[in-house]
């Protein structure tokens, strides 16, 4: 990013408020220079060679000019950013860039303001001279404003850095919580032991089917252990995971389970947190086919809608009560999504006595500030899709 052209571009579309600041500053500079010239021409009755007074005037004027320019830029930049929804990392970066133009002149101005104020007070006490007093007041006001801006910017920067660190920490602990949960209760011991019971039975009646079921079960376990350590995974991987999961479940349920899987090819390349669809499928099994003696149907559909990835798991069971949506891992999923995406991800539950649909809406592009392990770079994206 060429900072100079960026500054020029911003000066061009600086809104009215920033322009006014620039005018204000310009006026002050003129008045102060005017004071100096007036003094030079002897209008104040003071000696032109007063070093302290000249030094104060020069440093103060230069500092004020710099402050005005950078303050205008800062306001222009902030106004531009307010219109857009920049992710925190970018806001941080662009803010920092502008801040370097601000910090030095502001510090100079604060020092000058203090200097001028004390010099001015002495002069006023000594001479009660109007132009000096005026210049002093101007410096004083700008000094206060400079001080406030410096403090404000510092606070803002600190806040940004902290919230970024907090968010990354939350994402990491959400990921490790997911891993823990996946390995223990979330792996769902019911799934595991019922699967083993089924295989123990199939071993006698149909050894080939037993073998196949063991392979699917191994795939599920392996994926659970590997993928729960990562913050991101591809839709293709998640779909493969739930297919293996459902292969195992089909052997248990027999005809009582009917599964429809509809995944748009374009969606396969999108990314989402691992184990996002699995809790939905588990939930649907419990409240759908698991709630009717004759069983039922589960429909899983994944697709892209504009810039969003939409995943829906529906069942034709007798419905689900609202507080049940916090159990069976849905609550944990909701929290993980909120940590990773903020408000950009939603999970909605529609349920009545003819069935339930749980829908996830996620941005198709994962947010920039959660690198984490497994986050796709351009090359890894291509590599994983080629396999």
Partner 1 sequence: MRILIVDDEPAARRRLSFILEELDEEVVGEAADGLEALELIRERAPDVVLLDIRMPEVDGFDVVRHLPEDGPLVIFQTAFEDHALEAFEHDVVDYVVKPVGLERLDAALGRARRRLEAGTSAGLSAGDLQRLRAAVRLSPTIRPRLLVRQGRGFRLIPYEEILRFSTDRGTTTAHGIERDFLTDHTLAELEERTGSTFLRVSRSDLVNRERVERLVPESGGGATVILGDGSRVRVTRRRRAGVMAALED
Report the residue number, 327 or 371, with the smaller CB distance to partner 1.
Answer: 327
Candidates 88, 140, 290, 363: give the one binding partner 1 (CB under 8 A).
290
- Residue 326 CB, nearest approach to partner 1 (Å): 11
- Residue 350 CB, nearest approach to partner 1 (Å): 13
What is the sign of the dihedral through the CA atoms of 314, 318, 322 and 325? negative
Residues 62-121 that bind partner 1 (CB under 8 A): none
Report the residue number, 241 or 253, with the smaller CB distance to partner 1.
Answer: 253
Candidates 243, 247, 258, 286: give the one binding partner 1 (CB under 8 A).
286
The partner residues of 362 in beta bridges, in order of sequence, read: 309
Question: Would you give the distance in Å from CA 31 to the centre of its chain?
Answer: 46
- Residue 227 CB, nearest approach to partner 1 (Å): 22
Candidates 12, 84, 353, 378: give the one binding partner 1 (CB under 8 A).
353
Report the residue number, 209 or 301, with the smaller CB distance to partner 1.
Answer: 209
Candidates 59, 86, 104, 291: give the one binding partner 1 (CB under 8 A).
291
357 binds partner 1, rule: CB under 8 A = no
Report the residue number, 140 or 295, with the smaller CB distance to partner 1.
Answer: 295
Report the residue number, 238 or 251, with the smaller CB distance to partner 1.
Answer: 251
Nearest CA among 284, 266, 274 for reference residue 237:
274
Residues 184-203 that bind partner 1 (CB under 8 A): 185, 189-190, 192-194, 196-198, 200-202
272 binds partner 1, rule: CB under 8 A = no
Please, are residues 373 and 231 in contact by the beta-carbon 8 Å criterion? yes
Give the largest CA-CA distance in the chain.
115
Token representation of residue 21: 């600041």
Token representation of residue 278: 């699995």
Nearest CA among 327, 319, 329, 328 for reference residue 350:
319
- The stretch among 40-48, 223-231, 317-325, 364-372 that binds partner 1 (CB under 8 A) is 317-325
320 binds partner 1, rule: CB under 8 A = yes
Token look-up 């019922």 returns 194
Report the residue number, 303 or 319, with the smaller CB distance to partner 1.
Answer: 319
Alpha-helical (H) ranges within the chain are 3-12, 16-40, 51-83, 88-127, 130-183, 189-205, 207-227, 235-253, 277-287, 330-341, 378-386
- Residue 220 CB, nearest approach to partner 1 (Å): 16
- The stretch among 80-88, 154-162, 265-273, 285-293 that binds partner 1 (CB under 8 A) is 285-293
- Residue 180 CB, nearest approach to partner 1 (Å): 15
Token representation of residue 319: 């419905």
Question: Would you give the distance in Å from CA 340 to the centre of its chain?
Answer: 8
Report the residue number, 115 or 291, with the smaller CB distance to partner 1.
Answer: 291
Question: How many CA atoms lie within 13 Å of 28's alpha carbon, on the beta-carbon side?
Answer: 27
205 binds partner 1, rule: CB under 8 A = yes
Binding marks (x or -) toward partner 1, 243..262, rule CB under 8 A?
A: --------xxxx-x------
Report the residue number, 84 or 204, with the smaller CB distance to partner 1.
Answer: 204
Torsion angles phi and psi, residue 292, rounded to 5 = -125, 140
How many residues are listed for the chain in this entry?
Answer: 387
208 binds partner 1, rule: CB under 8 A = no
The 3-state DSSP class for residue 347 equals: strand
Residues with Cβ within 8 Å of residue 277, at least 6 apart in sequence: 238, 239, 241, 242, 300, 302, 311, 313, 360
Question: How many CA atoms lie within 13 Å of 22's alpha carbon, on the beta-carbon side?
Answer: 15
Number of amino acids touching partner 1 (CB under 8 A): 36
Give the residues lining the site for partner 1 (CB under 8 A): 185, 189-190, 192-194, 196-198, 200-202, 204-205, 251-254, 256, 286-287, 289-293, 295, 317-321, 324, 327-328, 353
């Amino acid at each position: 990013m060429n900072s100079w052209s960026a500054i020029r571009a911003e000066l061009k579309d600086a809104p009215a408020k920033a322009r006014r600041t620039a005018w204000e500053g310009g006026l002050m500079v003129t008045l102060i220079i005017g004071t100096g010239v007036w003094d030079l021409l002897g209008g104040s009755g003071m000696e032109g060679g007063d070093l302290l007074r000249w030094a104060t005037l020069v440093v103060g004027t230069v500092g004020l000019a710099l402050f005005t320019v950078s303050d205008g830029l800062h306001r222009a930049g902030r106004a531009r950013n307010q219109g857009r929804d920049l992710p925190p990392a970018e806001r941080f970066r662009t803010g920092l860039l502008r801040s370097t133009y601000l910090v030095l002149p502001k510090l100079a101005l604060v020092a000058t303001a203090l200097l001028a104020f004390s010099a001015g007070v002495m002069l006023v006490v000594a001479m009660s001279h109007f132009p000096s007093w005026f210049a002093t007041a101007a410096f004083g006001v700008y000094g206060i404003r400079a001080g406030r801006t410096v403090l404000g910017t510092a606070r803002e920067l600190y806040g940004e850095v902290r919230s970024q660190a907090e968010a990354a920490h939350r994402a990491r602990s959400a990921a490790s919580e997911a891993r823990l949960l996946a390995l223990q209760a979330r792996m769902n011991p019911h799934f595991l032991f019922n699967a083993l019971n089924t295989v123990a039975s199939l071993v006698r009646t149909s050894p080939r089917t037993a073998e196949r079921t063991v392979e699917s079960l191994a795939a599920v376990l392996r994926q659970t252990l590997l993928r729960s350590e990562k913050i991101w995974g591809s839709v293709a991987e998640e779909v493969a995971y739930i297919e293996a999961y459902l292969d195992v479940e089909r052997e248990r349920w027999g005809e009582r389970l009917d599964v429809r899987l509809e995944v748009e090819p374009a969606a396969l390349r999108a990314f989402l947190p691992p184990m996002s669809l699995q809790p939905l499928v588990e939930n649907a099994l419990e409240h759908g086919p698991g709630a009717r003696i004759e069983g039922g149907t589960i429909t899983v559909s994944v697709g892209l809608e504009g810039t969003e990835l939409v995943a829906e798991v529906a069942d034709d069971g007798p419905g689900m009560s609202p507080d049940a949506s916090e159990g069976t891992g849905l609550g944990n999923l909701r929290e993980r999504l909120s940590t990773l995406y903020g408000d950009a991800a939603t999970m909605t539950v529609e349920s009545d006595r003819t069935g339930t649909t749980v829908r996830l809406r996620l941005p198709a592009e994962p947010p920039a500030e959660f690198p984490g392990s497994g986050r796709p770079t351009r090359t890894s994206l291509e590599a994983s899709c080629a396999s």
